[in-house]
Chains A and B, each alone.
Chain A
């Protein structure tokens, strides 16, 4: 019924999550709104234009070729990771808006959520966003059934 899903190397999202973790950690610890805004923009590109356009994803692909990291050990449909980018955009975007409006505590707390989840993905491969996406898909199927 649906078209063939685009499959991506599972290492890509983990690599991107590692960069995100570092960027947002620095932004939080140094209270750098500009760096936070930068990360929000990164999320926006991947979420809206698709993972093919993800800046960190492109760095990953470049390094993969250059440093010869070999073929993917496993591939996954891009839908889950893309949904995670949307979640990242929403949380970090909301955080940025809160910070710019003066609600520092709330704003940076939202950023910490993204720090935690991107750290988790980078370190363990557990993508909470992907799991939520899968759960959502199954719940939608149940409603339709």
Chain B
């Protein structure tokens, strides 16, 4: 009988870990970090502009899915750039910023300040929300100022394809 309790305990702990991971995966995390101009130049990314910086690895299909999300967001905010850097090539910079997983996305302000980082494929609305906060210069920008973020969060529940939600939001903005 004690076997059963041990088993249930293991399953419970595993379920807790699973839920914790699912909650974090693809969600933005607040970090205090900055990419200085030298690093951004070394990465081959444009300096002095807000940036969606994605660390990728070869043969990583979530990295491609993430790139699609970032491109969709950048299409909505033309002043924001998108750049992908290979973790294996940019070893030192990745290590300096504790990049362990591919894809890892950083949302950078024009001065290189990190306004959020996301591991895994971003959840719908996460990148758009961070970009809005970055561009308005506020740490905790209001959600749903009649803008893109709230609509994305409401319209695209769970882990549905992010591109779809962003395309709809874009169509809505264009009207």
> Which chain A residues have a beta carbon within 8 Å of chain B's beta carbons?
5, 7, 25, 28-29, 31, 74-77, 112, 115-117, 119-120, 123-124, 126, 131, 134-135, 137-138, 141-142, 145
Most chain A Cβ neighbours within 10 Å, of B11, B62, B95: B11
Given contacts A74-B61, A116-B13, A131-B101, contact A25 B21 (CB under 8 A): no
Interface check B14, CB cutoff 8 A: yes
Bound CA–CA A137/B17 (angstroms): 24
- In-complex Cβ contact of B57 among A31, A116, A134 (8 A): A134
Bound CA–CA A25/B10 (angstroms): 11
Verify B57–A112 contact, CB threshold 8 A.
Answer: no
Interface size class of B (residues with CB under 8 A): 20 to 34
Given contacts A123-B15, A141-B91, contact A76 B61 (CB under 8 A): yes
Bound CA–CA A14/B18 (angstroms): 14
Chain B binding site: helix, strand, loop or mixed by DSSP? helix
Interface check B59, CB cutoff 8 A: yes
- CB-defined interface of B86-100 with A at 8 Å, one 1/0 digit per residue? 011001000100001
- CB-defined interface of B11-29 with A at 8 Å, one 1/0 digit per residue? 1011101100110010000
Verify A28–B7 contact, CB threshold 8 A.
Answer: yes
Chain B residues within an 8 Å CB radius of A134: 57, 101-102
Interface check B65, CB cutoff 8 A: yes
Verify B3–A126 contact, CB threshold 8 A.
Answer: no
Verify A116–B14 contact, CB threshold 8 A.
Answer: yes
Verify A29–B18 contact, CB threshold 8 A.
Answer: no
Query: Known contacts A124-B21, A135-B100, A145-B91; can you find 9 more A-B pairs with CB under 8 A?
Result: A74-B62, A75-B61, A112-B7, A112-B10, A116-B11, A126-B22, A138-B57, A138-B102, A141-B88
> Which chain B residues have a beta carbon within 8 Å of chain A's beta carbons?
3-4, 6-7, 10-11, 13-15, 17-18, 21-22, 25, 57, 59, 61-62, 65, 87-88, 91, 95, 100-102
User: Top 5 A-B pairs ranked by shortest CB distance?
Assistant: A141-B88, A124-B18, A116-B14, A77-B59, A142-B91
Given contacts A29-B4, A29-B7, A116-B10, contact A124 B61 (CB under 8 A): no
Bound CA–CA A131/B119 (angstroms): 12
Chain B residues within an 8 Å CB radius of A31: 3
Bound CA–CA A35/B122 (angstroms): 40
Chain A residues within an 8 Å CB radius of B11: 115-116, 119
Report A72 CB to chain B, min CB distance, Å. Answer: 10
Bound CA–CA A145/B90 (angstroms): 10
Chain B residues within an 8 Å CB radius of A123: 15, 18
Bound CA–CA A142/B3 (angstroms): 44
Chain B residues within an 8 Å CB radius of A28: 3, 7
Chain A residues within an 8 Å CB radius of B101: 131, 134
Residue ID in chain B nearest A119 by CB atoms: B14
